[in-house]
Amino acid sequence: MQLTSFTDYGLRTLIFLASLPEGELTNITEVTRLFGVSRNHMVKVINRLGQLEYIQTVRGKNGGIRLLQAPTAITVGQVVRDLEPLELVNCSVEFCHITPACRLKDRLAKAKQAFLNELDTCTIDALINDNRELMILLTRP
């Protein structure tokens, strides 16, 4: 299974924000620079994370972005569910004539659920806690 770049950068952004001192603001420009992604793409990611209430966006001269939820409360599985279009294949009868007798769709559904169950065991905090190497890579110059 491959995640979209949207979900990938959403997770990276949450990891970066969790690495900052609690309550500290950063901005889209800094996140864009850190991950080498287009500003346009990152604006969309940040906007969606804000809509989902993972992050807080503060407008104005001294504005920016920061985590809204505690890193211990954010599971990777839920973020993936919220950001990722999780339809592995199109099983509509209009698209696939073997759908009524197909056994693959049930296996794919079970595999997807197992994938998400595993991601549900991991929080953003678990990804950064005691991870000195990551903190060095995320340190702002």
Predicted pLDDT at 88? 76
**Which tokens is 97 given?**
């004539």
pTM: 0.88
Looking at per-residue pLDDT, the higher value among 138 and 10 belongs to: 10
What rounded mean pLDDT belongs to the chain?
Answer: 91
Give the C-alpha separation, 45 to 128, whole Å. 20
Predicted pLDDT at 102? 87
Provide the residue type at 79 as one letter. Answer: V
- In tens, the pLDDT along 1-31 reads 789 999 999 999 999 999 999 889 999 999 9
Instruction: Show the beta-strand stretches assigned E in 25-113.
Output: 55-58, 64-67
**115 φ/ψ sector (left φ>0, alpha ψ -120 to 50, else beta):** alpha
pLDDT band at 141 (very low <50, low <70, confident <90, very high): low
- In tens, the pLDDT along 31-69 reads 999 999 999 999 999 999 999 999 999 888 888 999 999
Give the C-alpha separation, 109 to 93, whole Å. 17
Name every residue whose Cβ is closer than 8 Å to that of residue 59 and which is 6 or more positions away in sequence: none
For 6, the enclosing helix (H) or strand (E) is: helix 5-19
- In tens, the pLDDT along 71-87 reads 999 999 999 999 998 88
